């Protein structure tokens, strides 16, 4: 299959972390880099996938910070590790945005609210949400993308999802093939 979205180097990729880039911990949270395990094929396909886009923006809800299980600096250390592994494989994330609040917190940056996308647009003025793709594995990821009129891609997993994405795939590697 091929997606006829006419993706070119003016598009932006918004991507979730847990369940998309790394294995999700369904029993809790990723609280240190030894627990951060890349999903199969991510490191191998990220260079090709990410290079199709002008900007790659990681948007991740991390309520483990709000719960006091890890500090924002601790999450940054995990992201530094993730980014260094991606760079070693020729892939680069341009911006990492973290929503540290608890679910339901007032003035939240959590997905599905659009605040992290708006922050990304402040940094990269040329982002056009209609020329963006949101990749995630949860309803909040898909709703985040839909709320901003992005194309949406659901990475299928054990996570139950009722939102209807534009496309469902098993992995980033599969999506990369569809975007050829």
Sign of the dihedral through C-alpha 139, 145, 146, 147: positive
pLDDT of residue 3: 85
Residue 1 is assigned to a structural domain of this protein: no
Residue 4 is assigned to a structural domain of this protein: no
Q: What is the pTM of this model?
A: 0.95
Distance of alpha carbon 16 from alpha carbon 152, whole angstroms: 12
pLDDT of residue 159: 82
| Token pair recorded at residue 23 | 């294995």
73 has catalytic annotation: no
Residue 37 is assigned to a structural domain of this protein: yes
Residue 5 is assigned to a structural domain of this protein: no
137 has catalytic annotation: no
Residue 68 is assigned to a structural domain of this protein: yes
Distance of alpha carbon 141 from alpha carbon 131, whole angstroms: 17
pLDDT of residue 180: 73
pLDDT of residue 104: 86
Residue 111 is assigned to a structural domain of this protein: yes
Residue 3 is assigned to a structural domain of this protein: no
Q: How many domains, the chain?
A: 1
**Domain interval for residue 49:** 12-178
E strands, 55-150, are 55-61, 95-99, 132-136
Residue 6 is assigned to a structural domain of this protein: no
Q: Element (H or E) spanning 66, and its range? A: helix 63-66
Mean pLDDT by 10 residues, the chain (180 residues): 88 98 94 96 96 98 96 97 98 98 90 97 98 97 98 92 95 91
Question: Per the residue annotation, which of 8, 18, 35, 94 is the catalytic one?
Answer: 18
Provide the pairing of β-strand 95-99 with 55-61: parallel
Q: Supply the CATH number for residue 97's domain.
A: 3.40.50.1000
pLDDT of residue 4: 86
Question: Per the residue annotation, which of 16, 137, 139, 141 is the catalytic one?
Answer: 16
């Amino acid at each position: 299959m091929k997606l006829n979205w006419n993706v070119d180097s003016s598009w932006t990729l918004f991507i979730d972390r847990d369940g998309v880039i790394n294995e999700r911990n369904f029993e809790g949270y990723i609280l240190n880099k030894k627990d951060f395990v890349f999903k199969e094929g991510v490191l191998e396909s990220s260079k090709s996938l990410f290079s199709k886009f002008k900007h790659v923006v990681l948007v991740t809800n991390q309520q483990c910070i709000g719960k006091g299980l890890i500090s924002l600096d601790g999450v940054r250390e995990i992201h530094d590790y993730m980014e260094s592994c991606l760079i070693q494989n020729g892939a680069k994330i341009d911006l990492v945005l973290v929503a540290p609040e608890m679910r339901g917190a007032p003035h939240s940056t959590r997905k599905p609210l659009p605040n992290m996308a708006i922050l990304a647009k402040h940094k990269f003025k040329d982002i056009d949400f209609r020329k963006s793709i949101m990749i995630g594995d949860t309803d909040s990821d898909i709703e985040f993308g839909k709320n901003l009129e992005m194309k949406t891609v659901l990475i299928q997993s054990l996570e139950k999802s009722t939102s209807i994405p534009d496309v469902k795939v098993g992995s980033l590697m599969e999506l990369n093939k569809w975007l050829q």
